[in-house]
Structure 1
């Protein structure tokens, strides 16, 4: 049975990946609501990982309204943040407490002047987090649950942390790597490194919906291979099947 699914993610191409993969896993053409970033990209929270953070904190006390005031009502809320945020963004490690900073108790990490000015004393990689896909996923999922507050454990909220990003899943669909999730910035380092990627023309480094519309059929067609190569894809696959009842559809996996 088709579901109504809201997606809070970093950007429009992540939205495309998530909804196409969910449809593939469930075998249904589901109905989607892009909650963050908003379709015009000029919403209250901005885009990217900071927009996800702001959306979660702002809506943490009204998640029931988010589910029930959308028409039709949501069956599932997906929150996505790429694992490269844990790898390279100091703000998400602010509360780890490994750096001396007198501003920590009085400033929100996203509003901290030191962070904005590039003077944040947090050193990366963070010594409190394992530097691999599972460590990144665990770190960010815990943070997202904290931002969402007491409703984060609702059975209809799915948190996904693709590693290093959703682009690693696409790379895994086209090529076999020993550890594809160790590739940093797979969009620039693999997909857009040349003007052509497996017969698909890549005009520059900017991510375009038109390019993803050509990449996604291969991602879905090779999804089982992607799941085998990527721990984060396997985790997402398991969650979708469990939360949307895809196991009852006699699908593989």
Structure 2
């Protein structure tokens, strides 16, 4: 018996990195997965984003666990396209019990960046995308009438002013991750009547393609002050995706059945400095 037997988890940004890790962790405990990813490049993002091949690999790994998965390519910024993808997945797998609004971008380090467009893209993916995800996923959860759990992926930058540098990427990232906390608190009050819990998780730097890529490493090397701000209190440069997935697996389980409205850092002491 797994903790999530018979449950359906809707996860955005599921093609690789944190999203794939979350999908695998919940599937290991019996969940079926709705996996959404854009699988395309956004012009203002300087590092390679996920591909169709990445999403296919997520499908392969979930199916190897003998769980069901419906994977769709959709942009979380596009409400109608996202709704179409999710509705078709719900028709196949059943109503949603868990929502992980995980998709996000951190386009630091672009050369000759268009700061105005970059800021707009970051806010639209990291904030509008989260709002779209919850608005689209919640109706089937409410209709099912058995409660549920939602986790929004913020960041240590969502609880700290560190990281803003006057650029569209830095300011947009910090602002969007703070705003996610506001959404979480609003959703918490709205959805409590349906026994649906809502929380945020706040990772420090995680060993994923969004953080570990040539563009980001070059930017950190050229901005040592920013790199110093990103250091953890515990003696680790960054943590692994599974560390976040384990925290989320607890948050969405009955072990945390009365935990709602919480901002949970998984940050190796970053915010305690």
Fold-level similarity (TM above 0.5): no
* TM-score normalised per structure 1: 0.38
* TM-score normalised per structure 2: 0.36
- Higher strand proportion, which one? 2
More RCO (CA 8 Å, sep 6+): 1
